[in-house]
Each structure stands twice: as structure tokens, then as C-alpha cells.
Structure 1
């Protein structure tokens, strides 16, 4: 590897504000904010969504309606114009 071209790899605390969950992950992200986490000071980054709050990972997905626009139209006007 070439010296002095790679970003600094460090432990960073990511905070999912939707679920109020903290993750300690290795990253090269640069931030000026810090947080005290488990007795040490780490760089701090906030997230809107992570695996702790995203509906795909939590299993709390919204179920789409069974009847869409087309089926509603067919139910209302399906027999109109047919013999």
C-alpha cells in the first residue's frame, strides 16, 4: 500500500435517532462531533434509518392493499359496456 493516501480508519458511534440505538462500527467517515460511549470518546454520526428501525429488518412492514386501482375500477364498472 502507498503511504499517506488512505483515510484514517477508526471506531465510530452511529446513532439511529428513529430507534435511539447506538452502533460502534469501524469507519473512515470524518466528523467533528464526539460522544462518550462505554467509557471512551468516539466520533459521532447520526442516522435517520438503520437496521434497527427500518421496517424491512424489524418485520413491521406495511401490507399493501389487496385491491388496487384497477381491481376497484373493475368491481365498480366491470359489467358496463359488456353484453
Structure 2
């Protein structure tokens, strides 16, 4: 690496709106990052993820219009 052209890599405190916080390293000068979601409150990681049932919509569309793409 070239000298004196790279930003300083410092410890940074990340705090989430849910109240969780952790320390990481970053080049941000303020030393703190505020995040809206993190691994402790994101639905994918907490297991509270909602799965949309689109199968009924697809079946209803195919019943209404048929499989036009397969006929061509």
C-alpha cells in the first residue's frame, strides 16, 4: 500500500434502533454508525420472517388466462 493516501482504519461503535450495539472497524471518521436494523432485530435472522403465499395468486392467474406462454 502507498503511504499517506489511505484513510485511517479505527474501531467504530455500531448502534441499532433496537438498542443493540457492537464494535467493528471502519474508516468512518466519526467513530460511530447508527443502523436501522441489525442481526438481532431483522426478521430473517430472528425467525419472525413472514412467507408470502403467492401460489394461490399464480393458480388464479393461470385459471383466468391459461398458460399462454406454453401454447406459443
Q: Please report the TM-score for the alignment, with normalisation by the length of structure 1.
A: 0.62
- 1:1-83 aligned within 5 A: 1-17=1-17, 19-31=18-30, 43-65=31-53, 67-73=55-61, 74=63
| Alignment check: 8 A CA contact 1:16 1:52 kept | no
Greater fraction of residues in strand = 1
The alignment of Structure 1 onto Structure 2 pairs a total of residues equal to 64
Query: Which segments of structure 1 move beyond 3 Å, counting only runs of 4 or more?
Result: none
Unmatched 5+ stretches in structure 2: 65-72
Q: Please report the TM-score for the alignment, with normalisation by the length of structure 2.
A: 0.69
Aligned Cα root-mean-square deviation (Å): 2.1
Unmatched 5+ stretches in structure 1: 32-42, 78-83
Greater fraction of residues in helix = 2
SS of equivalent to 1:6: coil
